[in-house]
Amino acid sequence: MIRFDTDYTQGAHPRILQRLAETNLEQTIGYGEDEYCRQAADRIREACKAPGAAVHFLVGGTQTNTTVIASALRPYQGVLSADSGHINIHETGAVEATGHKVLALPVQEGKLTAAQIAEYVDWQALNDSAEHMVQPGMVYLSNPTEVGTIYSKEELTAISTVCKSRGIYLFLDGARLGYGLMCPENDLTLEDLAKLCDVFYIGGTKVGALFGEAVVIVNDRLKRDFRYNIKQHGGMLAKGRLLGIQFLTLFEDNLYFEISAHAIELARKLKRGLSELGIPFYMESPTNQQFVILPDTVCQELSKSFAYEYQERMDESHSAIRFCTCWATSEEQVQALLAELKRLKEGAA
């Protein structure tokens, strides 16, 4: 079985494992106050050209989203999200569990627009019943999105401008950030994110780490006492240095970007191959998630030797499914998948 269902089917990049082994018996202070975390934070600040940013390391994405959102909102505020947003669909109501509504707006390709945000915020603010409604206090974007698309610098700038003018925070979920930054279609940099967002995170779990997400807080108002929030949400790892060591390794020698580029290269090979096989795409994605539409009979056969993720039923006999490449995917795996799809396609013909 070769797995293309997600981008977290394997462990960590070998250099990370090696570093963990080398440092294993060192004694450090706990809870992220060690030297490795400090150095990793410095590297990330440098990479973002944001010397004043606060950098914190959490274990996983749901935890990170919840902690950031709950710490930023007032009790009666909610967070605007694409209806396809991870916080809206796939976090078991974690944001609501902290008392805040996810204000889901309908989107087509996983992306909110500046106009859409402005319209909603203004509509609520000027409504006769404004006080009876949840007030938007933050915008949540994922980049890349849950369907593999990315925001352009122009789009993100427009959203940032709307947020600033309305006094609401902009938060970018970068669980797959590396895969977004390294695709040729992308024109955003870490530096841009640090300028345009109030807070964002750089995902490690899906990009080479065993686990871990690095939160970068740019807006001073969000910095205060953030560690209290981390602790309360169960995100303060006792052996915090594990996170520091991992991110230090990822942000040394360009590793984070190199392994992201590797995944993108293979995703493009996969995409080209799928295209050559005449398989229709569910979504035009430039990143490591590729979505195609296949007959259910093909899906069933395929599942005997390849794992994919089910996305959506398209019609009575077709489904949309997802393939992910990642830092650890090999060329051979991609070729094997394409060969099998070719075989199934010919068999079906």
Residue from 51, 131, 167, 184 in contact with a copy of itself (CB under 8 A):
131
Task: Find out whether 95 and 66 touch, Cβ atoms under 8 Å.
Answer: yes
Token code pair at residue 289? 């998630």
Q: Considering the rule CB under 8 A, would residue 222 count as an interface residue with a copy of itself?
A: no
CA distance 314 to 139: 30
Q: Does 228 engage in binding with a copy of itself (CB under 8 A)? A: yes
Among 15, 28, 265, 296, binds a copy of itself (CB under 8 A): 28
Q: Which of residues 280-309 bind a copy of itself (CB under 8 A)?
A: 307, 309
CA 30/CA 11 separation, integer angstroms: 23
Work out how close the CB of 46 gets to a copy of itself at its nearest, in angstroms, rounded to a whole number.
26
Smallest distance from a copy of itself to CB 153, Å: 29
Residue (152 or 232) nearer to a copy of itself, CB: 232
Phi, psi of 200 (to 5 degrees): -155, 170
- Helices 241-250 and 14-22 sit at what angle, rounded to 10 degrees? 140
Size of site (CB under 8 A) for a copy of itself: 79
Q: Does residue number 27 form part of the binding site for a copy of itself (CB under 8 A)?
A: yes
Query: Smallest distance, Å, CB 264 to a copy of itself?
Result: 19
In the complex with a copy of itself, which residue's Cβ is closer, 67 or 149? Answer: 67
Under rule CB under 8 A, which residues in 47-106 are in contact with a copy of itself? 59-64, 66-67, 70-71, 74-76, 78, 89-94, 96-102
By C-beta, is 74 or 346 nearer to a copy of itself? 74
Question: What is the per-residue binding string for a copy of itself in 324-343, x denoting contact by CB under 8 A?
Answer: ----x---------------
Euclidean distance between CA atoms 281 and 274, whole angstroms:
9
Residue 63 or 219 having the CB closest to a copy of itself: 63
- Which residues within the stretch 235-254 sit at the binding site for a copy of itself (CB under 8 A)? 235-239, 242
The stretch among 38-46, 138-146, 186-194, 222-230 that binds a copy of itself (CB under 8 A) is 222-230
Q: Decide if residue 277 touches a copy of itself (CB under 8 A).
A: no
Residue 231: which of 75, 31, 40 has the closest Cα?
31
